[in-house]
């Protein structure tokens, strides 16, 4: 029988709660058989992505290097059992934990029981149970898993036990998924890095001195290291997209009322003026699609009536012949992207310009600074009282970026109902104006960086504007990786800010300073978040991350 | 040149503002040629519906007795010009004003200019400009018409001039509609009758001692008298459905994000926790459909991005062969319907039970009293401050039902952000629970009375629960008339409350008292609000109101 959870309510200090949670996490990793290989801290290199190949079996590497679409085929054809697949991912995820600190717990019993069931089902019925038959899925911690603690990143909340799986988890399991791991998130969930007192900092597998992004950074790092190939994140300002971009992955932030959020646990429950979305991060574009379709095909609006009753439509029907018109944002007019981001963007656009199927035009961002100010004034409509109460429900200290966004953010506003209604009208006016702009300059998709730089140095992720823009507008967004690496080859595009660059404002100055101080510092991938599935197909780009 | 509008801001008393508005209204009626027949107050009978036939020309009666679907055919075939049709409706609407007090102004110049344009277009192009070519449409006053005053029922707001048409008006005009009349609404818009200081009480054309319903009661009375056959109403608690039911008409309250509301003027702008819907009232089911389809086919989400990007789908595709399962609400468990409502419901269900295409089951309402309490606590989240400020922007007195819903309503709550979020969670829990109930007892539609009685005696419309239930849940609703008249023929169903009836609660007691005091008092039509288009087709019911 599992030992009782140590909690603030039971009289423990916050440090004791943290120690217990981490013990619990380590205990779940220690259950894996064969044991997860030991890794000495001092042996971990900056770039950890080569480690799994060295420490796991050849079959484990082969399985975990497979993308969702092929994994389902291999399991349903009988090449690999679901049990074998599940165990391989448990092993790689356990290793990813040691390398990147991205796991809150593994779920070996639940996962292996489910895998055995699936294997029996397949043997008995000669057909898969659903479109995700056997696909292991990792889950951000604040999305409940029955019988597990659910703390949403607050020390004081430790000790709540989920009575049932979150709705999205139920649908994914019905589709055949195997829930096998839970992942880290930052204190308050309102950071674009992943830093909490409960689990510390989640690091980037490509460079451990950099952040894995946030708030779904546990997913980002875990999938970046292929300890998972499909996971669930949530996003109210960039929390799916920043981790996807920071780890060279695919990510999808749907329009807010398409995938079911029911059951998730977070501060500010009941706030609805900016709606958070739930969505997948994966190693392939098809992973995003299969995830979304498998849920929507089950008509989740019958159980979560706020969802739009809209079936998943076949993407192939769109743009059968016509030229795709792509608007490009090179710079949002608030914070200039770092040179490697602009270089990668230019290279990518250069490829598109050679395609007869694509027409590229510039998209002039319209008042993205106003957009940030509007959304930031609505995020914490109670002045942050609920989030502050959650942090202060123990004596855990404030983490720096949580403090930054709540305590050092001049836009945080404690609203009355009257001022909230005014803020909502401002939001709607902005949405209407942006739609008008789009009508006047019709493009099919907008291609934009996901942020001003590559993955951030720990503690420096302060500018969300490139992603929060699309939460304010509630437009869907897909993130995909473009270039493999920053190389030293000479390039036409200068790999620097223009000479004598004068920052536009304090935010731009801060990000410019980061570049001057850190540059891209050994991080192999620049990531730019870009447009919809059709754009990738038209541009003939890879739709999966090289394993 | 039109005289300047008399306003509070220009120093007038509220009575002077009212007198000026009514002068303006009468002046627009006086512009109609030939002049609208005079009617002496003392000559108006209880039931006014026979008057138009006596005072209008035969052709005018014939035109205005035509439903939307046939009117379009007659105009596009050249049988009637749009100019002739428009003038006939202007004349009948002017007469309806004299009989029911339902008009804020007629728009003869705009309407006749548009009609002439349409006639020229048809002559030049030999095809209609759109699916509503030549259909006159009346518009509830708080939906702006360019260049016209827009006061939303508040004396203090008189003097605002609309800079452009509301978005829905733009789409309707693009589809060929002729905007020709604006209609009354009650003070605050939060009444289910139509009583304002600006225009007084709008009365029911079938019995002038009864209300036309509200808040879209001007539309109800005008269309009930066929001074219009298609009009725009708005509904946050029953404001389309109660007037449709009270006047024997068809009404459609869509799900909230399907038809465009942008531009409308009302108190509490920015409130979004209970969303009001905009929709049609018509003399025919096809009128509702043509209205909705003509707008949605223009993809209004491009201009109002909050709308769901969902095309209008062909209703004929649904239930191609299977039995329609209909749940019936006989009593919401809070307030028992009056005997004629129950009798009409039983008669209607009796017809359905004979249909092989329909299976009838009872629908047990689940906590509709809780539903009312939840919605009433959210309606005026600022404690009514904004509405009160609007009323108090002049010294106009409070109308009785506005006072009732705001000042005498124990559920009105002045929220903080924190308590609002809690109220939203209660709302969502209720929605989820109701959806669960529906999943456990699957029916295709629910058939329910629209209210506890037939049209109310003036000033007694206090119980909204039969309609507000579906605003809280945000389910779509269609209203249709069932029986023609209350006759004296003996019936098996007793035309009374059960002997020794004990009211369930204060609300039930109030409504029971209304029955005891007034009965159905000479009102010819009982109205029950029922289900979707398919139900009507299956039951073989008329889809238009007999002219």
Q: For residue B321, what pLDDT is reported?
A: 66
pLDDT higher than threshold 90 for residue B532: no
Q: For residue A518, what pLDDT is reported?
A: 59
Query: CATH fold of B23-305, please?
Result: Amidase signature (AS) enzymes (3.90.1300)
CB contact A437 to B (< 8 Å): no
C-alpha A162/C-alpha A145 separation (Å) is 6
CB contact A275 to B (< 8 Å): no
Catalytic residue among A81, A82, A196, A215: A215
Instruction: Give pLDDT tens digits for B356-403.
Output: 878 889 999 999 999 999 999 999 999 999 999 999 999 999 999 999
Q: What count of residues does chain A have?
A: 547
Place of tokens 């739009």: A308
CB contact under 8 A, B422 and A308: no
C-alpha B136/C-alpha B113 separation (Å) is 13
CB contact under 8 A, A422 and B262: no
The residue of A307, A317, A414, A417 whose CB has the most chain B CBs within 10 angstroms, and thus the best one to mutate to test that interface, is A417
Q: For residue B538, what pLDDT is reported?
A: 46
Catalytic residue among B81, B211, B215, B282: B215
CB contact A485 to B (< 8 Å): no
Cα distances (angstroms) measured from residue A282 to each of A172, A547, B89, B127, B170 = 15, 12, 61, 53, 44
B423 contacts on A by Cβ (under 8 Å): 270
Query: CATH fold of A324-539, please?
Result: Amidase signature (AS) enzymes (3.90.1300)
CB contact B530 to A (< 8 Å): no
Please identify among residues 209-248 of chain A the ones whose CB lies closer than 8 Å to any CB of chain B.
none
Report the residue of chain A nearest B270, measured CA to CA: A421
C-alpha B352/C-alpha B358 separation (Å) is 6
C-alpha A62/C-alpha A85 separation (Å) is 10
Residue A129 known to bind ligand: no
- Tell me the pLDDT of chain A (547 aa) as tens digits: 467 899 999 999 999 999 999 999 999 999 999 999 999 999 999 999 999 999 999 999 999 999 999 999 999 999 999 999 999 999 999 999 999 999 999 999 999 999 999 999 999 999 999 999 999 999 999 999 999 999 999 999 999 999 999 999 999 999 999 999 999 999 999 999 999 999 999 999 999 999 999 999 999 999 999 999 999 999 999 999 999 999 999 999 998 998 999 999 999 999 999 999 999 999 988 899 899 999 999 999 999 999 988 888 877 777 776 677 889 999 999 999 988 888 888 888 888 888 887 888 999 999 999 999 999 999 999 999 999 999 999 999 999 999 999 999 999 999 999 999 999 999 999 999 999 998 999 888 888 999 998 899 999 999 999 999 999 999 888 888 876 433 333 344 446 788 888 988 888 888 888 777 655 442 221 122 223 344 444 444 566 666 6
Listed residue (A404, A422, A333, A418) closest to A370, CA to CA: A333
pLDDT higher than threshold 60 for residue B492: no
CB contact under 8 A, B305 and A432: yes
Identify the three-state secondary structure at position A134: coil
Alpha-helix residue ranges (DSSP H) falling in B275-399 = 285-296, 339-353, 368-379, 385-391
CB contact under 8 A, A270 and B425: yes
Q: For residue B535, what pLDDT is reported?
A: 42
Residue B51 known to bind ligand: no
B38: DSSP letter: P
CB contact under 8 A, A415 and B420: no
Catalytic residue among B114, B140, B377, B527: B140
CB contact B262 to A (< 8 Å): yes
CB contact under 8 A, A416 and B382: yes
Instruction: Give pLDDT tens digits for B140-161.
Output: 999 999 999 999 999 999 999 9
Report the residue of chain A nearest B387, measured CA to CA: A418
Report the residue of chain A nearest B299, measured CA to CA: A439
Q: Is B81 a catalytic residue?
A: no
**At CA B447, angle to CA B443 and CA B452, rounded to 5?**
145
Q: Is B239 a catalytic residue?
A: yes
A473 contacts on B by Cβ (under 8 Å): 305
Q: What's the 3-state SS for A198-224?
A: CCEECEECCEEEEECCCCCHHHHHHHH
Instruction: Give pLDDT tens digits for B176-206.
Output: 999 999 999 999 999 999 999 999 999 999 9
CB contact under 8 A, A423 and B308: no
Instruction: Give pLDDT tens digits for A189-239.
Output: 999 999 999 999 999 999 999 999 999 999 999 999 999 999 999 999 999
Cα of B309 to nearest chain A Cα, Å: 9
Place of tokens 């999808």: A252
Report the residue of chain A nearest B302, measured CA to CA: A435
Please report the ipTM that was assigned to this predicted complex: 0.91
Q: Evaluate whether A368 touches A332 at the Cβ level (below 8 Å).
A: yes
Please identify among residues 362-381 of chain B the ones whose CB lies closer than 8 Å to any CB of chain A.
381
Cα of A268 to nearest chain B Cα, Å: 8
Please state the domain extents for chain A.
Answer: 14-312, 324-539
Catalytic residue among A239, A246, A256, A448: A239
B526, HSE (Cβ side, Cα atoms, 13 Å): 24
Q: For residue A454, what pLDDT is reported?
A: 87
Report the residue of chain A nearest B313, measured CA to CA: A310
> Is A14-312's fold the same as A324-539's?
yes
Asked if the A14-312 domain carries CATH number 3.40.50.80, the reply is: no
Catalytic residue among B81, B82, B211, B239: B239
Instruction: Give pLDDT tens digits for A413-472.
Output: 999 999 999 999 999 999 999 999 989 998 888 889 999 988 999 999 999 999 999 999
**A313-339 as b/e: b if 16+ CB within 10 A:** eeeeeebeeeebebbbbbbbbbbbbbb
CB contact under 8 A, B418 and A310: no
C-alpha A126/C-alpha B509 separation (Å) is 64
- Joined together, the tokens standing for residue B421 give 């979020």
CB contact under 8 A, B425 and A269: yes
CB contact under 8 A, A272 and B269: no
Q: For residue A353, what pLDDT is reported?
A: 86
CB contact under 8 A, A421 and B308: no
**A190-218 as b/e: b if 16+ CB within 10 A:** bbbbbbbbbbebbbbbbbbebbbbbbbbb
The residue of B385, B417, B430, B475 whose CB has the most chain A CBs within 10 angstroms, and thus the best one to mutate to test that interface, is B417
Residue A238 known to bind ligand: yes
A425 contacts on B by Cβ (under 8 Å): 269-270
B272 contacts on A by Cβ (under 8 Å): 272-273, 424
The beta-carbon neighbor of A424 closest among B270, B382, B428 is B270
CB contact B420 to A (< 8 Å): yes
Q: For residue B517, what pLDDT is reported?
A: 67
CB contact under 8 A, A273 and B269: no
CB contact B297 to A (< 8 Å): no
Q: For residue B495, what pLDDT is reported?
A: 61
Cα of B383 to nearest chain A Cα, Å: 9
B473 contacts on A by Cβ (under 8 Å): 305
The beta-carbon neighbor of A306 closest among B268, B414, B428 is B428
The beta-carbon neighbor of A432 closest among B304, B422, B423 is B304
pLDDT band at residue B322 using 50, 70 and 90 as cut-offs: low
Task: Read off the pLDDT of each residue in B472-476 and give the average, rounded to a whole number.
Answer: 91
Cα of A391 to nearest chain B Cα, Å: 17
CB contact under 8 A, A310 and B306: no
Query: CATH fold of B323-539, please?
Result: Amidase signature (AS) enzymes (3.90.1300)
Q: Is B448 a catalytic residue?
A: no
CB contact B317 to A (< 8 Å): no
CB proximity list for A179: less than 8 A, separation 6 or greater: A107, A110, A111, A114, A136, A137, A139, A145, A165, A169, A172, A173
Identify the three-state secondary structure at position B278: strand
Report the residue of chain B nearest A269, measured CA to CA: B421
Catalytic residue among A81, A98, A102, A140: A140
CB contact A317 to B (< 8 Å): no
Is residue A432 within a helix (H) or strand (E), and if so which, with residue range?
helix A417-440
CB contact under 8 A, B308 and A303: no
C-alpha A215/C-alpha A236 separation (Å) is 9
pLDDT higher than threshold 80 for residue B497: yes
**Percentage of chain B exceeding pLDDT 90:** 74
């Amino acid at each position: 029988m599992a030992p009782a959870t140590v909690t603030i309510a039971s009289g423990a200090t916050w440090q004791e709660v943290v120690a217990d949670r981490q013990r619990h996490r380590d205990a779940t990793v220690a259950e894996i058989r064969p044991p997860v290989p030991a890794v000495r801290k001092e042996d971990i290199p900056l770039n950890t992505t080569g480690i799994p190949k060295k420490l796991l079996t050849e079959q484990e590497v082969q399985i975990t290097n497979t993308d969702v679409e092929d994994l389902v085929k291999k399991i349903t054809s009988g090449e690999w059992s679901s049990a074998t697949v599940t165990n391989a991912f448990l092993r790689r995820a356990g290793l990813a934990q040691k390398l990147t600190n991205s796991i809150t717990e593994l779920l070996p019993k639940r996962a292996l029981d489910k895998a055995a069931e699936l294997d029996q089902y397949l043997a008995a019925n000669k057909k898969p149970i659903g479109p995700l038959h056997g696909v292991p899925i990792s889950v951000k911690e604040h999305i409940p898993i029955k019988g597990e603690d659910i703390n949403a990143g607050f020390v004081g909340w430790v000790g709540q036990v989920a009575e049932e799986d979150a709705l999205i988890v139920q649908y994914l399991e019905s589709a055949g998924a195997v829930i096998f791991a839970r992942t880290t998130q930052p204190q308050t969930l309102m950071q674009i890095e992943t830093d909490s007192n409960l689990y510390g900092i989640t690091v980037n597998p490509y460079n451990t001195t950099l952040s894995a992004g946030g708030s779904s950074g546990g997913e980002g790092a875990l999938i970046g290291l292929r300890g998972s190939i499909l996971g669930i994140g949530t996003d109210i300002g960039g929390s799916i997209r920043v981790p996807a971009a920071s780890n060279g992955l695919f990510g999808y932030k749907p329009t807010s009322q398409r995938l079911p959020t029911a059951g998730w646990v977070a501060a500010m429950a009941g706030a609805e003026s900016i709606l958070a979305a739930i969505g997948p991060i994966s190693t392939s574009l098809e992973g995003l699609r299969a995830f979304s379709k498998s849920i929507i095909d089950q008509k989740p609006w019958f159980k979560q009536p706020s969802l739009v009753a809209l079936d998943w439509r076949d993407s192939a029907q769109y743009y059968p012949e016509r030229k795709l018109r792509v608007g490009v944002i090179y710079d949002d007019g608030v914070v200039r992207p770092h040179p490697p981001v602009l270089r990668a963007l230019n290279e990518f656009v250069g490829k598109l310009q050679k395609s007869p199927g694509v027409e590229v035009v510039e998209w002039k961002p319209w008042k993205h600074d106003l957009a940030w100010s509007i959304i930031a004034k609505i995020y914490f409509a109670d002045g942050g009282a609920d989030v502050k109460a959650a942090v202060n429900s123990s004596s855990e200290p404030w983490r720096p970026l949580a403090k930054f966004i709540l305590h050092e953010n001049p836009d945080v506003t404690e609203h009355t109902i009257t001022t909230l209604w005014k803020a909502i009208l401002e939001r709607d006016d902005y949405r209407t104006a942006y739609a008008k702009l789009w009508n006047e300059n019709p493009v099919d998709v907008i291609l934009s960086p996901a942020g001003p730089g590559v993955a951030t140095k720990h503690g420096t992720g302060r500018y969300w504007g490139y992603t929060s823009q699309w939460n304010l507008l509630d437009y869907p967004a897909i993130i995909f990786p473009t270039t493999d690496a920053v190389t030293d080859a000479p390039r036409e595009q200068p790999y620097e800010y223009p000479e004598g660059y004068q920052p536009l404002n304090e935010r731009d100055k801060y990000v410019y300073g980061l570049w001057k101080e850190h540059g891209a510092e050994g991080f192999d991938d620049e990531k730019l978040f870009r447009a919809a599935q059709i754009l990738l197909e038209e541009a003939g780009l890879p739709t999966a991350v090289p394993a």
